[in-house]
Amino acid sequence: MSMFQHLFQRMRKVLVIGGMLVLLPTQFSQAQVRQSDVAPQVQQLKIKLKHPNPGIRSRAATSLGSLGDLAKGAIPNLLALLKDPDIGVRYSAASALVEMKGSTKIIISQLIPLLKDPNPIPRGSAALTIGQIGEPAKDVVPQLIVLLNDRDSRVRGYAIYALGKIGEPAKAAIPQLIPLLKDSNTTTRASAAIALGNMGNAAREVVPQFISWLSDPDPELRSIAANALSFMGATAKDAIPPLILLLKDPDSVVRGDAAGALGSMRELSKDAVPQLIVLLKDSNEVVRWQSAAALGAIKASVKEVAPALRTSMLQDPQPYVRVKAAIALLELEEFSSDAILQLMILSKSLDELTQDLAVNELVDFIKKLKAKQVQLSDDALNNIVSGLPQVLKATGQDSLVINVGCTLVKGTVRHCPRLHPQARGTGVLRAMIKSLRFVAVPPVTESPG
């Protein structure tokens, strides 16, 4: 999986409305913010959708998308932008329409006529939007199949993309997609391969062809095959031996894609673990983080893998690799205190991609703690409690209370022998997630004999 396929869950939504920066908590709902509350801003943005500057049109569309269904009154205006001469504006309009989840059926019904528009621009934009909507647009598959024969290559490409994003419900397109694997255009071949891969078990008949590509002299074709197989999971288990061989491929892109494909097959790829550990020191940073992610997904022997991931997490020169190694370590050791502390540090990284991924993982970790009564060792408890205020600050969460069996007086710790002194006495425990509960666990001692 490439770096750009990662979607990061942001703690706050940032909107630019009428030149004004507005912060909305992620949890905001239409019960809290009514459509009438934002109607003036929506009206301003609808006017900006007609601005002669494409950058302003694009930003206005993005802001409307950030409002979701609160801006559903702008749906006709956004649909009109799918005919915009600027590709960036068209993409922004498509992305905005996708965010209006409560209006998906209406939007799809309005997109279908555009698939037959005499102009290729709206045909392609409509297919792109349908692809971003994904599986809920499965009833449009017949119309998309027709577009696979469109006279415009860009429209064909968007149709292939849309069918792939719909996934297995688009399996009726498989007979039309398979011939495209032999298309003279490399981009078309790659798009068809990824689309078929997204259809998983329904497209298992193409696995042998993808496996044959893994030994092709063309590194681009080897990479395409590994990428496609990465979407098929256990359906492509026969590809594991040749994928392991590709971990030594001279092309770094191929090595990274092979690591990603093996990770997608999880425990089935355990034979790849020794070479994946070697790749944690690869000269290419993408190969290193893809190998770390694969090791976390495969969940092999903790004794074998954890030391290598810890080294990568602490010593790799690239912060994105370190955050991937920390996340992989949490896959192996669910409440690894040093992995959490490293994520806390990386949540302040100057690299936005690293920061977002670290924060997202910390939020998931906190949710996991909230979902169960977690038992932690003394050391883990000390490390996590002393560092959590940094996480709360980085993630923008509210200050809340944690119960570790301590005596609290007006929110301040008065008696908590299990905690390190630096984690006591200053209201540290207020900077926690609401109703989060740690359970004290005494050290395990072996009884004699």
Half-sphere exposure of 170 (CA within 13 A, CB side): 34
- Per the structure, the count of domains in the chain is 1
Q: In this structure, is residue 401 part of a structural domain? A: no
pLDDT of residue 74: 92
User: 219-247 in b/e burial notation, b at 16+ Cβ within 10 A?
Assistant: bebbbbbbbbbbbbbebbeebbebbbebb
pLDDT of residue 440: 32
DSSP element (H, E) containing 375: strand 374-376
Q: In this structure, is residue 46 part of a structural domain? A: yes
pLDDT by residue for the chain (449 residues), tens digit each? 333 233 222 222 333 322 222 323 333 334 455 766 778 888 999 999 999 999 999 999 988 988 888 888 999 999 999 999 998 999 899 989 988 888 899 999 999 999 999 999 999 999 999 999 999 999 999 999 999 999 998 999 999 999 999 999 999 999 999 999 988 888 888 899 999 999 988 999 999 999 999 999 999 999 999 999 999 988 999 999 999 999 999 999 999 999 999 999 999 999 999 999 999 999 999 999 999 999 999 987 778 899 999 999 989 999 899 999 999 998 888 767 678 778 877 877 777 888 778 877 776 776 666 555 555 455 555 555 555 555 545 444 433 333 333 433 333 434 444 444 443 333 333 333 223 333 333 333 333 33
pLDDT of residue 390: 53
Q: In this structure, is residue 110 part of a structural domain? A: no
Q: In this structure, is residue 209 part of a structural domain? A: no
Q: In this structure, is residue 342 part of a structural domain? A: no
Q: Is 335 exposed, middle or buried (0-12, 13-18, 19+ CB in 10 A)?
A: middle
Q: In this structure, is residue 28 part of a structural domain? A: yes
- Can you count the helices (H) and strands (E) in the chain? 21, 7
Q: In this structure, is residue 362 part of a structural domain? A: no
Query: What CATH number did the domain enclosing 38 receive?
Result: 1.25.10.10
Q: In this structure, is residue 48 part of a structural domain? A: yes
DSSP state string for 208-250: HHHHHHTT-S-HHHHHHHHHHHHTTGGGGGGGHHHHHHHTT-S
- Structural domain of residue 20, as residue ranges? 1-99
pLDDT of residue 164: 94
pLDDT of residue 340: 76
pLDDT of residue 396: 46
pLDDT of residue 157: 92
